[in-house]
Amino acid sequence: MALQVGIVGLPNVGKSTLFNAVSNSAKAQASNYRFCTIEPNVGLVDVPDERLAKLEELVKPERVVPTTIEFVDIAGLVKGASKGEGLGNKFLANIREVDAIVHVIRCFEDDNILREEGAINPVGDKEIIDTELQLKDLESVEKKIARTEKMAKTGGDPKAKVEFEILKKCQAHLEQGKNIRELGLSKEDRVAIADLFLLTEKPVLYVANVDEASMLTGNKFSETLQASVKAENATVVVMNNSIEAQISELEDPADKELFLSEYNLTEPGLNRLIRSAYGLLNLITYFTAGVQEVRAWTIHTGWKAPQAAGVIHTDFEKGFIKAEVIGYDDYVKYGSETACRDNGRLRIEGKEYVVSDGDVMHFRFNV
């Protein structure tokens, strides 16, 4: 599944530094000037999962393949972007293509790092981004209202009338300075606006980029940010992007462990960020385990066995017959597929089986 998370924020808040830290396959330029990032950088990132290491220990495969998620480093946004200021149109088009947003917000003071917005103000910075996205969404909604209104009012198209009502609801919400994701639209309602790919409908998590001294405890700026997004029920990950970039460059596990201990960290903040992004997209992991390969696969929560099989290959879904399923805890408890089978812990499931996070699966199919 090619799912993308876009890293956004004002210029010089640490977006590209975070991307450098989080990405295993690409390095973004990180410099102290506006619009350092113009074309979005894209990097595939391994999703940290201790279960994969445990399965490797038990199965001893030839290779191990973690599941991944794509992070996209997008150009910094400025006030007026919705009207084309700075690189606004390009920035907003890039956001439209991602599945979720990681909003990086500066929560530290440093006179050496350029800031055009005045004193450090996390809530104000968040509102700048929110406002620009809302204005662009409002523009999109109003254009569709203009196209739909005549058909809705003549009564000749019942579908148009329903769409019109939903669009007007979205318009009123955006005019109040609120994001579409907070409107509580039903799955059916979302169909009416699906073609607009609204920016404020996308799920968001926040990164509070703090100074080194505040990595463990946060500071007054990150606390203010957390309080401001409480109503959104959004996750705020507190981290120092520069330190995380240094940690990510260490290839020797012993060196990395020593570095973490020096900062009293039990794991990189990046691990928390990646897991949070994975959860934000409502994703779970299932595994395939054999002597040739132990592999993690990404699917959406609630997917049934044939859909999960289709992630491996479309033929698996088309010709799905049955799935052999072992719960992760059972696999660890008994130590092998054979032992699970002998102890009655291997289940045969059909097309209606809803896959659980951590399932170890093998599919039977015929094409």
Q: Per mean pLDDT, which range of 94-103, 214-223, 331-340 is the poorest?
A: 94-103
13 is in an annotated binding site: yes
Read off the CATH number of the domain in which 149 is found. Answer: 1.10.150.300
My answer on whether 12 and 112 are in the same domain is yes
User: What is the per-residue pLDDT for 151?
Assistant: 80
My answer on whether 208 and 341 are in the same domain is no
- Give a yes or no: residue 236 inside a domain: yes
The pLDDT of residue 355 is above 60: yes
Most confident of 108-112, 215-219, 233-237, 328-332: 328-332
Tokens of 197: 């790919």
Tokens of 95: 């956001």
Asked whether the beta carbons of 239 and 208 are under 8 A apart, the reply is: yes
User: What is the per-residue pLDDT for 218?
Assistant: 93
User: Which of residues 280, 311, 337 is at a domain's end?
Assistant: 280
User: Which of residues 158, 177, 200 is at a domain's end?
Assistant: 200
Give how many domains the chain has, as a whole number: 3
- Give a yes or no: residue 287 inside a domain: no
The pLDDT of residue 25 is above 50: no
User: What is the per-residue pLDDT for 10?
Assistant: 86
12 is in an annotated binding site: yes
pLDDT digits (tens, 9 = 90+) for 82-105: 455 444 455 677 788 889 999 999
My answer on whether 269 and 310 are in the same domain is no
Query: Which spans in the chain are helix H?
Result: 15-22, 50-59, 88-96, 122-154, 158-175, 187-191, 220-228, 241-248, 253-262, 269-280, 305-312, 314-318, 328-334, 337-342
- The whole-chain average pLDDT of the chain stands at 86
User: What is the per-residue pLDDT for 79?
Assistant: 60
My answer on whether 107 and 208 are in the same domain is yes
Q: Per mean pLDDT, which range of 200-214, 239-253, 322-336 is the poorest?
A: 239-253
Chain centroid to CA 67 = 14
- Segment 207-224 shows an average pLDDT of 94
My answer on whether 52 and 106 are in the same domain is yes
My answer on whether 112 and 223 are in the same domain is yes
Q: Per mean pLDDT, which range of 21-35, 107-121, 174-188, 340-354 is the poorest?
A: 21-35
Tokens of 222: 């990150």
- Give a yes or no: residue 124 inside a domain: no
The pLDDT of residue 17 is above 50: yes
The pLDDT of residue 13 is above 70: yes
My answer on whether 185 and 244 are in the same domain is no
- Give a yes or no: residue 97 inside a domain: yes
My answer on whether 186 and 322 are in the same domain is no
Read off the CATH number of the domain in which 109 is found. Answer: 3.40.50.300
User: What is the per-residue pLDDT for 2?
Assistant: 65
Read off the CATH number of the domain in which 316 is found. Answer: 3.10.20.30
My answer on whether 57 and 179 are in the same domain is no
The pLDDT of residue 38 is above 50: no
- Give a yes or no: residue 51 inside a domain: yes
My answer on whether 95 and 229 are in the same domain is yes
My answer on whether 207 and 320 are in the same domain is no
pLDDT digits (tens, 9 = 90+) for 129-160: 899 889 989 999 999 999 888 787 776 677 88
User: What is the per-residue pLDDT for 285?
Assistant: 95
pLDDT class of 77 with cuts at 50, 70, 90: low
Most confident of 31-35, 83-87, 261-265, 333-337: 333-337
Three-class secondary structure assignment of 126-138: HHHHHHHHHHHHH
User: Which of residues 200, 230, 256 is at a domain's end?
Assistant: 200
The pLDDT of residue 26 is above 80: no
- Give a yes or no: residue 294 inside a domain: no
- Give a yes or no: residue 315 inside a domain: yes
- Give a yes or no: residue 18 inside a domain: yes
Sorted by sequence, the CB contacts under 8 Å of residue 355 that are 6+ apart come out as 284, 286, 299, 303, 304, 305, 308, 361
My answer on whether 146 and 266 are in the same domain is no
Q: Is 203 exposed, middle or buried (0-12, 13-18, 19+ CB in 10 A)?
A: middle
16 is in an annotated binding site: yes
pLDDT class of 204 with cuts at 50, 70, 90: very high
Q: Which domain holds residue 253?
A: 4-116+202-280
What is the C-alpha R_g of the chain?
A: 23
Higher-confidence position of 286 and 118: 286
